[in-house]
Amino acid sequence: MELKITDLNKTYPNGVQALKDVNLEVPLGMFGLLGPNGAGKSTLMRTIATLQEADSGQILLGDINVLYDKEKVRKLLGYLPQEFGLYPKVTAEDLLNHIATLKGITSKSERKELVDALLQKVNLHSHRKKNLGTFSGGMKQRFGIAQALIGNPKLIIVDEPTAGLDPTERNRFHNLLSEIGENTIVILSTHIVEDVSHLCSNMAIINQGQVVLKGIPTEIVGSMTDKIFKKTISKEEIDDYRSEYQVISSDLFAGNTVIHIYSETDPGNGFSSVAPDLEDVYFKTILGERSETQLI
């Protein structure tokens, strides 16, 4: 099964065009959707999840028309939004049981077996009797995945799932998503480049409502080999370097500024070549889009 998005557009009543002719093909496995805040990622996720209408275009999940056959899609969909509410005084076990009932699992024994299995899968079984209000941020996110897995979905959408998680919880969440993505279409919408780099076999970058880059992460990164250079400078020099070079990122290290630039040829002047990574690709792509916008 594949998700195919064709010429998708969405403009809000305030005039903001959130999606502009979006075209994507999302195969089985983990698919990363990268972009800055406000790029249109959440709009696209909500549209795929049948939570809002598009102005034009088409979305197909296999042979199902997502924009018209919403009930069919919802039976195959698991969704973990960026923000989701939980009843703080309800136990994890009880709420999963309730959600399973709402999804049409009428057999009490079947629900119990399913709930136990899901809580084991997300490593929350030992906490099943605890109220959700006592859960940490990472535990709540793992519970969110558990509820998204009810009904054996063919498509799972997770929107900014690791924002605010500590490194340990983030690592647990990565492992969980990787396992799920072996047999399911999983769309990971995020602004955290490392999440996509670690997890996804396919990806796209969206900015200002448009898909500006798509492909296989390793191939995209490989295309920038011998084109990324770094240098340590004083922070007072940063503006001068930005005026002379295509600076794509800067980081503070030991009181100095380490810059990465993009250049088709060796710039000399004390720069050293570095192996590119997905963060370099991301910043180069977003910077290029902003530069073109400013020139218009």
Domain borders along the chain are 3-215, 224-295
pLDDT of residue 215: 95
Which has the closest alpha carbon to 44: 79, 91, 74? 79
pLDDT in tens, 212-237: 999 999 999 999 999 999 999 998 89
Task: State the pLDDT at residue 293.
Answer: 35
pLDDT over threshold 80, residue 9:
yes
Closest by Cα among 269, 145, 289 to 207: 289
Q: What are phi and psi of 91, to 5 degrees?
A: -75, 160
pLDDT at 294: 33
Mean pLDDT value of segment 143-148: 88
Using 50, 70 and 90 to split pLDDT, how confident is the model at 288? low
Per-residue pLDDT, 162: 77
**Mean predicted confidence (pLDDT) in 142-158:** 89
Structure tokens at 220: 């995209």
Q: Over the stretch 34-81, which tens digit does the pLDDT of each residue have?
A: 998 889 999 999 999 999 999 999 999 999 999 999 999 998 999 888
Q: What is the mean pLDDT of residues 112-139?
A: 91
The third-level CATH classification (topology) of the domain covering 3-215 is Rossmann fold (3.40.50)
Q: Over the stretch 159-187, which tens digit does the pLDDT of each residue have?
A: 887 777 788 878 887 888 888 888 899 99
Average of per-residue pLDDT values in the chain: 90
Q: How confident is the model at residue 289 (pLDDT cuts 50, 70, 90)?
A: low
pLDDT tens, residue by residue, 251-277:
888 778 999 999 999 999 999 999 999
